[in-house]
Structure 1
Amino acid sequence: MDYRPAPRLAHSALALHDPVKAADFPQTILRYRNHRAAQSVGLESLSDAKWIGHFGRFQPLPDNQPVSLALRYHGHQFRQYNPDLGDGRGFLFAQLLDDQDRLLDLGTKGSGTTPWSRGGDGRLTLKGGVREVLATAMLEALGVPTSKSFSLIETGEQLVRGDEPSPTRSSVLVRLSHSHIRFGTFERLAYRNEVETMRDLVAFVRTNYYPECKDTAALFDAVVTRTARLAASWMAAGFVHGVLNTDNMNITGESFDYGPYRFLPYYDPHFTAAYFDHSGLYAYGRQPDAVLWNLGQLGRCLTLITEPEPLIASFNDFNARYEHELGLATCRRLNLIPQADNASLAAALYDFLATQRRDGSFEGVFFDWFGGTISEERALSGPRGASYAGPVFDTFAGVLKTYATAAPEKLDHPRLKRPDPETLLIDEIEAIWAQIALEDDWSLFDAKLNAIEDYRQALAL
């Protein structure tokens, strides 16, 4: 794959950004580079020195953006409108095409202050960077559309934070994502009544991300479908994003910006990831409602340039699309051939998961029954075998028997011969960080990433 620069936003006439300069960090210690993602965009051959030059010192990539761009946007944060947002500790560094001819962004987190920093230091803790690298690897393994952690570099500064022991080490993260144009980008234009810029933004999005969409209504309809798919994939992965504000949702239906996320230890619709989410607004079970509310804000913005009726129709169809996508996501996770209607399978599975309160049981059930009934002996003889009994399980098992395995050969992978699934629970993350913080020992981090990659290859979702 050749490197193919495509700085389309920088070359557009859209006034959606401000030129910024990265911080001059005292150190640049390379802690992680995503070789597979780099290969997909033609950057795998960079030496470590050149990698650090581009992704730690932010020397422009050849024929790409000459300067980095902090994007402007607004957003609803816990449903309170905030017109003072924007890229406060990140920027768009480059755009390029991948091996599928998709336009992708290289964006940063922790790269220094911008006009939108609002008094913050524009930095990212090393722990925050480590957590995001782990999150994106695990989400990709579980089939969630997600940004990819491209690079993590420790920067040698001591940061003070109120929610973790300080001073703490610092880092700069680079993400590879389909787009960083957010719902909040549209909210800003609607708030400022910038009609022509809204038209131009919609045209840019349609041209670069949704060429099949012929007008604004068709674009919104496609975004509703992709967002329903994203929400369903979170639920099937047992993932709690934690902060589903409109500025944390992008136009291409990818998950990104992982702060206080968690993976469920066991099924609990009331489980929250953010310690500051006192009302449970973004609890696991409320995530579909949260993204629907956010879609409502996007649709409202688009009425600035189009009639509301088709937008309302698409919005009102979200729940049906979400249920459909949850059924498909459940089938993918269980390695089953989907049927016309998979709602009964999803309902029976989640009813059974609700009876399991043992840490690791959420992922464990998917792991044990991967492939459906052909995994019965493996499931019943495994460490969770005793739990596969009773009327609620019998209902799930009865539905499962009506499904055929999608890819039986996957069960030959050595990873699926082991008794337990790969997980990324909070205690595991804290143990990885403790070893880094106390001893600068990255062996657990590296081992976990290798284990997640093995799991990704085994599931092949």
Structure 2
Amino acid sequence: MPFSSSYRPAVDHTTLGDAFYDVVEPAEFPEHILRYRNRKAAATVGLDTLTDEEWINHFGHFQPLPGSLPHPLALRYHGHQFRQYNPDLGDGRGFLFAQLRDSNGRLLDLGTKGSGRTPWSRGGDGRLTLKGGVREILAAAMLEGLGVDTSRAFSLIETGEHLERHDEPSPTRSAVLVRLSHSHIRIGTFQRLAALGDTASIPLLVAYVLETYYPDIVVPEGGNPALILFEAVCGKVARVGAQWMAAGFVHGVLNTDNIAITGESFDYGPWRFLPRFDPSFVAAYFDHSGLYSYGRQPQALVWSLARLAECLLETAPHSALSEIISSFPALYESELDAAWCRRMGVVQTGPEDDRALRHAVTLFMEKSGIPFPALPFDWYGGPISTRRAMESPRAAFYAEPGFQPVRSLLDARAALPGIMPDHAYFRAETPCDMLIGTVETLWSALSEDNDWTALDAILGRIGVMSDALGTG
């Protein structure tokens, strides 16, 4: 079938030179069962017209997309893992498969997970469990529905292998995932160059990232590109970190190789959503010290940004880099206030008032123990949802004296434009959630009964939520 007229292939990453990647071959799988294709995302890059057979050829057998990369590229990078530097990283079970431009001209990557071994596999089998692929679909869809800047799960194909894993019942089913994201260049990409002493390549990478991913930024005459890029990255990372917090999302593994230079959230492994507001909540069972707990995510992000600053010391003044890092907490707090106003569906009225609302909401959530998604659902839009909230199953929470500060601050707010309190989503008794119980129930339906309509149903509900929140 002919490609859509909006199909615009690209090969931009190859202009960096082969010192940034290794050409690799995809694994050959015994089976190819299409389990998920993101039709909405495919339409944005002109791939919506593919038949299922063509889809499997490209995203299961990895036949190159016309005009895009002729061979998959395993990207090279280093990184801190739980604050321990590891020079033996890189794409160990994935690769950059293709690059495309959307209708706005934005460059997007199609990257894989579970597509086979590479020079950076470090003894791993290069595979992905089917459950891991399903979890990535769920995380990306839920975050997108909540308005978080996130990569999107693009394709999931079951591959017919039986994998041995220590953290789930084995043997377990295998799959290959493709995600659509805004760049796979990460902090660890810069760290690798710095660790190798390749200071000549860092300005080249800075220039490439600015030109490719921040085209609206104009470096003034006499300006320092590295400083300008660093400030832009800090702003993007502050924004996505604030979005996570307002969504009640815990990434789980905030290593420097998992922080994209565009600030886009990606790579969902041991993620969780909070059942209740709890700063100490941990997503990864192996995070014994709580380094990446919900409440410590902002510190993890600024620590990683400081590692990026270290990579730029040969190209930008230490004092200027330090000044940008020092401004991060205030920038993050401002983004957090904005994120919570969006989460509550109310307009911002000013820094002090916005912060007061955010503090009141989170304090009440923490002290009362109300389910995390419930309050933003019941009171979305502020006073226009008063009747709905006071008739909800959580009405007793809102009758508590401790809720009155929240109520007073919400009553002084206007709803965001376009909110429809009578939307079908808000007529339900409970909000859409992606708690671990929801995930495990879905997985049982898939693994025990092979009932894939259950995944369609939960993605459909996320779609309804997205429509109600205006994030679609």
Task: Tell me the equivalent position of 2:320.
Answer: 310
> Contact 1:113/1:121 (CA < 8 Å) preserved in 2?
yes
Q: How does 1:81-230 map to 2 (within 5 A)?
A: 81-211=85-215, 212-214=217-219, 215-230=225-240
Task: Tell me the equivalent position of 1:428.
Answer: 438
> Contact 1:266/1:356 (CA < 8 Å) preserved in 2?
no
In structure 2, C-alpha distance between the alignment counterparts of 1:368 and 1:217, rounded to whole Å: 43
In structure 1, C-alpha distance between the alignment counterparts of 2:19 and 2:212, rounded to whole Å: 17
Task: Tell me the equivalent position of 1:48.
Answer: 52
Task: Tell me the equivalent position of 1:10.
Answer: 14
In structure 1, C-alpha distance between the alignment counterparts of 2:80 and 2:218, rounded to whole Å: 27
Task: Tell me the equivalent position of 1:445.
Answer: 455
- Aligned residue pair count: 459
Percent identity reads 55
Tell which deviates more after alignment, 82-91 or 207-216: 207-216
In structure 1, C-alpha distance between the alignment counterparts of 2:173 and 2:284, rounded to whole Å: 22
Q: Give the TM-score of the pair, scaled to structure 2.
A: 0.96
> Contact 1:107/1:175 (CA < 8 Å) preserved in 2?
yes
Q: CA RMSD in A?
A: 1.1
> Contact 1:26/1:156 (CA < 8 Å) preserved in 2?
yes
Deviation of 1:441 after TM superposition, in Å, equals 1.5
> Contact 1:267/1:356 (CA < 8 Å) preserved in 2?
no
Q: How does 1:21-420 map to 2 (within 5 A)?
A: 21-211=25-215, 212-214=217-219, 215-341=225-351, 342-358=354-370, 361-420=371-430
What CA deviation, in whole Å up to 9, does each residue of 1:210-242 have, x standing for no partner?
120521101100111110001100000000000
> Contact 1:232/1:326 (CA < 8 Å) preserved in 2?
yes
What CA deviation, in whole Å up to 9, does each residue of 1:297-326 have, x standing for no partner?
011111122212221111111110111001
In structure 2, C-alpha distance between the alignment counterparts of 1:100 and 1:334, rounded to whole Å: 30
Match for 2:140: what amino acid? Answer: T
Name the SS of the counterpart of 2:74 in structure 1.
strand
Query: 4+ runs of 1 displaced by more than 6 Å?
Result: none
> Contact 2:384/2:421 (CA < 8 Å) preserved in 1?
no
Q: 5+ unaligned residues in a row in structure 1: which ranges?
A: none
Deviation of 1:408 after TM superposition, in Å, equals 5.0
Name the SS of the counterpart of 2:40 in structure 1.
helix
In structure 2, the CA distance between the partners of 1:377 and 1:323, relative to structure 1 (3 Å rule), is same
Deviation of 1:279 after TM superposition, in Å, equals 0.3
> Contact 1:33/1:151 (CA < 8 Å) preserved in 2?
yes
Name the SS of the counterpart of 2:265 in structure 1.
coil
In structure 2, C-alpha distance between the alignment counterparts of 1:10 and 1:28, rounded to whole Å: 29
In structure 2, C-alpha distance between the alignment counterparts of 1:221 and 1:423, rounded to whole Å: 34
In structure 2, C-alpha distance between the alignment counterparts of 1:452 and 1:356, rounded to whole Å: 27
Q: 5+ unaligned residues in a row in structure 2: which ranges?
A: 220-224
What CA deviation, in whole Å up to 9, does each residue of 1:393-416 have, x standing for no partner?
111111112211112542232111
